[in-house]
Chain A
Amino acid sequence: MQDFAHSFTLAGELIVSGNEDLAEIIALSMRVTATALGISALIGLPFGAILAVSRFPGRGAITVLANALMGLPPVVVGLSVYMLLSNAGPLGPLQLLYTPTAMIIAQAVLITPIIIALTRQVIADLNAEYADTFHSLVVPWHTAVGALLWDARFSLITVLLAGFGRAVAEVGAVMIVGGNINHVTRMMTTAIALETSRGDLALALALGMVLLLIALAVNGAVAFLRGTERSAAHA
């Protein structure tokens, strides 16, 4: 049990000391996850919305597939991306393996289905309310998708936060495609795994607490922005 108390103190010390290595690791984690989230949002939001409002054959199957892929095991994603990017694989000449870009790809693959599936549900619910209005005003479908995405923006931010949470906490995929290389591809989660394997459980847990704090800070910042936006909308 003293490990928990020790970890708390250690986490506090790590943050206060402004440790350069830790700052580098946190910055990399944030950059990789934010970029992966940006890519996933660009693909997932419109795709999810279109899936919600349009009617085409196979739509049900795609929805089921997207929902199922929310449970993609990170290690499988990591392995697949590794085999694609490996020098023995089809994308080997790009020389992306063991770079932050490889980790961005893995995380984007991991969370895009989550963004698609949750966006589809949010937009489908809202569309049920709006459908009659769209129909009577003869609104073209792309205008409708735009309006739905905009009006659902607060729910969609929660969708993006879910994607962020999944990506930032993930270790299996980035370990394989990033290689946990010091100063190049070492992230919060891979550093935690490394310290665990070194038997330094207190330091590993302290790093975990720092990661949790970061997730709290990100969610807090979004909640704050959301608050100012709401008050601006009502002003």
Chain B
Amino acid sequence: MSLFKRLAAGVVAIGLTVGASAAAFAADKFIVVQSTTSTQNSGLLDYILPKFQKKSGIEVRVVAVGTGQALKNAANGDGDVLLVHAKPAEEKFVADGFGVKRFDVMYNDFVIVGPKNDPAGIKGMTDVTAALKKIADSKAIFASRGDDSGTHKKERALWKQTGIDPTAASGDWYRETGSGMGATLNAAAGMGAYTMSDRATWLAFKNKDALEILTQGDDRLFNQYGVMLVNPEKHPNVKAEAGQEFIDWLIGAEGQKAIASYKVDGEQLFFPNAKGSASN
């Protein structure tokens, strides 16, 4: 057999395999969840989703992107359920008719991490706006997500409270990475910069290098996650029944227990706080 025939036979065989496996995928019951990098990078979803799949037989396919992109993808109907952490944006999503109803799921908090030598001197502070002010005043490098994610929205809201516009110093001491939490933490470790991270991503992050938590414990650093079904009236392809089953499980006793039992190095990453159907 000539080389080309062999190559062609190989390509055809591979094509058939792909076709067959695509058909196998289609036969299974699955939903697509648009979620954020923090839920995936922290390992939470890998831990709780098999429990749901075992019980319901529904496979959950997670697309983990920034909250901004997740909201946009879900508004396009490219997903059945949205699990993110930017409450005002989520409420707008529902108000605009893209989502059915928003439920609180769980919370954790944000922390300000920075280099261990702490050039701005914010170690141990519990007032986050005062800490940000000190960073700005000392022109210490601050790495911002800069990607319109939930964390970025939160960070901007906090800067607003300080009365400082850090974007005026963008490219100088204020560095907008335009990437995910993990990539931004990598950049902060590389530049010896301060940054704001959700605690879950930070705890599960392995390249902590010379970084440590410097400011935490301010009520304003509260980080609430919400879940909602993408509106099947807008996008008829939305698997409303399976999606709702997942939401009900997540905010029900079993899902909440699964969230609470996820630990990294003995530390709980997410704290369930669903109020059942009475939420919102």
Chain A: residues with CB nearer than 8 A to chain B?
A: 30-32, 34-35, 37-38, 41, 86-89, 92-93, 95, 97-101, 104, 153, 157, 179-182, 184, 194, 196-201, 225-226, 229
Task: Answer yes or no: B260 CB below 8 A from chain A CBs.
Answer: no
Q: Which size class do B's interface residues fall under?
A: 35 or more
Contact with A along B215-245 (1 / 0, CB 8 A): 0000000000000000000010100000000
CA distance A157 to B6 in the complex (A): 13
Interface residues of B in 1-43 (CB under 8 A from A): 2-4, 6-7, 10-12, 14-15, 17-18, 21-22, 25, 32, 37, 40-41
Interface residues of chain A: helix, strand, loop or mixed (majority) = helix
The distance in angstroms between the C-alpha atoms of A229 and B64, with both chains bound, is 46
Q: Once the chains bind, are A86 and B76 in contact (CB under 8 Å)?
A: yes
Contact yes or no, A31 B18, CB < 8 A:
yes
Cross-chain contact of B25 among A35, A182, A184, A229 (Cβ < 8 A) = A184
Q: Whole-angstrom distance between the alpha carbons of A199 and B180 in the complex?
A: 12
Give the docked Cα–Cα distance between A30 and B183 (Å): 27
- Kindly provide the distance from the CB of A122 to the nearest chain B CB, expressed in whole angstroms: 15
Q: A86-B77, A86-B78 are in contact. Are A100 and B18 (CB under 8 A)?
A: yes
New contact pairs (10) apart from A37-B11, A157-B3, A194-B40, CB-CB < 8 Å: A34-B11, A41-B11, A86-B77, A87-B76, A87-B78, A180-B63, A199-B186, A200-B207, A201-B186, A225-B3
Given contacts A98-B63, A99-B22, A181-B62, contact A198 B182 (CB under 8 A): yes
B205 adjacent to A199 (CB under 8 Å)? yes
Question: Quick check: A38 and B3 within 8 Å, CB to CB?
Answer: no
A110 to B280, CA, bound (A): 45
Say yes or no for B46: interface residue by CB 8 A criterion: yes
Roughly how many angstroms separate A31 CA and B19 CA in the complex, as a whole number? 10
Q: Which of A37, A92, A100, A199 has the most CB of B within 10 A?
A: A199
Contacts of A87 in B (CB 8 A): 76-78, 235, 237
A89 proximity list for chain B (CB < 8 A)? 76
What are 16 A-B residue pairs whose CB atoms fall within 8 Å in the complex? A31-B21, A38-B14, A86-B78, A87-B235, A87-B237, A88-B75, A92-B237, A153-B3, A184-B61, A197-B183, A198-B41, A198-B204, A198-B206, A199-B205, A225-B3, A226-B3
